[in-house]
Amino acid sequence: MKQKKVAIIGAGVVGASAAYLLSKEADIDLTIYDEGIGQGTSAAAGIISPWLSKRRNKKWYAMVKEGAAFYPDFLSEVMNGEPIPPHVYKRVGTLLFKQKDAQLEELLAIGEKRREQAPEIGKLAILPPNKIKEMIPIYTKNKSALYASGGARVDGEKLVETLLEKAIKNGATLKRERVKIERQNAVYSIVSDDKTESVDAVILAVAAWLPDLLEPLGYSVDIRPQKGQLVEVTFDGYDTENWPVVMPEGEKDITPFEDGKVIIGATHENDMGFDLTIEKSALTSMIKEAAENFSHYFSTSSIVSYRSGTRAYTSDFSPFMGEVPELPNVFAASGLGSTGLTAGPIVGKCLAQLILNKTTPLPLEDYPIRHYVSENK
Ligand SMILES: Cc1cc2nc3c(=O)[nH]c(=O)nc-3n(C[C@H](O)[C@H](O)[C@H](O)COP(=O)(O)OP(=O)(O)OC[C@H]3O[C@@H](n4cnc5c(N)ncnc54)[C@H](O)[C@@H]3O)c2cc1C
């Protein structure tokens, strides 16, 4: 049987999920290219808890809701009967705080309504400070929070590692390099510094870097980068594995992992392009916020590491995916913004299904690529 040659450019959560799925197809010869610098996935905080957002974009909500529901099934398939490793993904619940405790009732009502369509939100309850302290002993404030038991945390870097490892085991090739795509009539080539390889189909899972690949082919792409910085602190001696994710009012969330590791962040910095520089002042102010909002145990002396990455946004903040207009067999997704880790696996599945010419789990007409990617006339 002649194999179809498929290239995936970009191995963040979207590309790695598509790679895993396509690597299982006997009639596909798969090569994955990933440079990795600035990758959103490995920088991400790791929060999977989209249900209580007040964003009004219904199509975005449908994507992240389906994305969150897809995670456990997808990872069970990936693990092939083995348990999902808790250092990759675990449902630990989410605690949401509001400026005024009275707003929690309103949020609870929204959550209960949304649970009708999204049972994976789990149990919802307003927890008083003493109950929060039972879950997270370092809590030192006196506010209540809304608890949703279905919230999860995921380590983006470990998730991608797991997916790529499985894909390689299934026969895919991974190349850690930056590439370009060229087109001559209906033939596509993937071009690296020292090699040119022709392929039958391509997935562009390059998030904020999509303009770099498509502009040389004569396209305009409505995507801009946004910088995000995070800091990791340690709570040595605490069993943090089952602490829920904490979402205080504002953007600086607190995501506990195993072995005392806790991530705080992130910043949302526009107009910084692809800059990845770590600014000490940003780290200090994130820790200060965590101390003010949640626990005075947070301090700069417990910093272990920091990281930064790039998110991809369209001008109206909506995600898109599909076949690139006038480029048959070239598929792309981008614009996943600050919830791309949540949406990534299901978006990756959509792209894999497009390669296989099968129905996608999300309706493509709700995320029209034509609105954001167009050929220059
Ligand atoms: C600080 C931060 C915190 C976040 N926290 C969360 C969170 O808690 N929850 C959530 O749901 N989302 C979160 N996000 C958003 C989420 O991380 C992203 O939306 C998502 O990871 C995007 O995945 P992706 O696969 O589309 O792209 P990316 O993960 O950005 O991967 C794109 C890859 O393509 C590669 N690439 C680009 N061009 C080329 C080329 N020419 N050749 C080869 N390789 C190339 C890049 O090097 C990169 O590795 C966060 C993002 C950031 C930055």
Mean pLDDT (the chain) is: 96
Give yes or no for residue 126 having a pLDDT over 70. Answer: yes
- CATH topology assigned to domain 4-42+157-223+315-375: FAD/NAD(P)-binding domain (3.50.50)
Superfamily of domain 90-153+224-313 in CATH is D-Amino Acid Oxidase, subunit A, domain 2 (3.30.9.10)
Taking 3-state DSSP, the helix, strand and coil percentages for the chain, each rounded to the nearest 5, stand at 35, 25, 40
Give yes or no for residue 2 having a pLDDT over 80. Answer: no
Q: Same CATH fold, 90-153+224-313 and 4-42+157-223+315-375?
A: no
As a whole number, mean pLDDT of residues 298-307 equals 93
Q: What is the DSSP string of 351-376?
A: HHHHHTT---SS-GGGSBGGGTEEE-
pLDDT for the residue 55: 85
- Is the C-beta atom of 178 inside 6 A of ligand 1? yes
- Is the C-beta atom of 335 inside 6 A of ligand 1? no
Yes or no: say if 335 and 320 are a contact pair by the CB < 8 Å rule: yes
Give yes or no for residue 249 having a pLDDT over 90. Answer: no
Pairing of strands 196-199, 187-191: antiparallel
Give yes or no for residue 251 having a pLDDT over 80. Answer: no
What is the SS3 assignment for 325? coil
Gap from CA of 69 to ligand 1 centroid (Å): 20
* pLDDT tens digits, one per residue of 152-165: 999 999 999 999 99
Domain boundaries, the chain: 4-42+157-223+315-375, 90-153+224-313
Total length of the chain: 377
pLDDT for the residue 179: 98
Gap from CA of 310 to ligand 1 centroid (Å): 6
Give yes or no for residue 288 having a pLDDT over 80. Answer: yes
pLDDT for the residue 115: 97
pLDDT for the residue 1: 59
* pLDDT tens digits, one per residue of 23-48: 999 999 999 999 999 999 999 999 99
Mutate to test the pocket of ligand 1, among 14, 37, 39 (most ligand atoms within 8 A of CB): 39
Angle, helices 340-355/58-79, rounded to nearest 10 degrees:
70
Residues 373, 365: Cα–Cα separation, whole Å: 14
Gap from CA of 4 to ligand 1 centroid (Å): 27
